[in-house]
Amino acid sequence: MKSARVATLPKSAMGRPVESSGNGYIIVLTLVAAAMSMYSMYSVVIVMFGMLPGLIAMIVDQDPRRYISKIVLTFNATGVVPYVVKILSGSGSGSVAIEIIIEPKTWLTIYISASIGWLVYWIFPQIALFLNNVKTQIRLQKLNYDLDKLVEEWGDEIKTK
Give the burial class of 120: count Cβ atoms within 10 A of its Cβ; 0-12 exposed, 13-18 middle, 19 or more buried: middle
List the beta bridge partners of residue 6.
none
pTM: 0.68
What local confidence, expressed as pLDDT, does residue 21 receive?
58
Q: How far apart are CA 94 and CA 104, in angstroms?
A: 18
pLDDT, greater one: 125 or 2: 125
The answer to whether 24 and 73 are in contact (CB under 8 A) is: no
Q: Which residues contact 90 (CB under 8 A, 6 or more apart)?
A: 40, 96, 97
3-class SS at 83? helix
pLDDT of 53 higher than 90 = yes
If you ran DSSP here, which 8-state letter would residue 156 be given? Answer: T
| Mean of the per-residue pLDDT values of the chain | 83
What local confidence, expressed as pLDDT, does residue 28 receive?
81
What local confidence, expressed as pLDDT, does residue 113 receive?
96
- Band the pLDDT of 62: cuts 50, 70, 90: confident
Q: How far apart are CA 9 and CA 11, in angstroms?
A: 6
What local confidence, expressed as pLDDT, does residue 102 receive?
92
HSE-CB of 144 using CA atoms within 13 angstroms: 6
Closest CA to 108 of 129, 83, 142, 139: 83
Tell me what the mean pLDDT of segment 10-24 comes to. 57
pLDDT of 16 higher than 60 = no
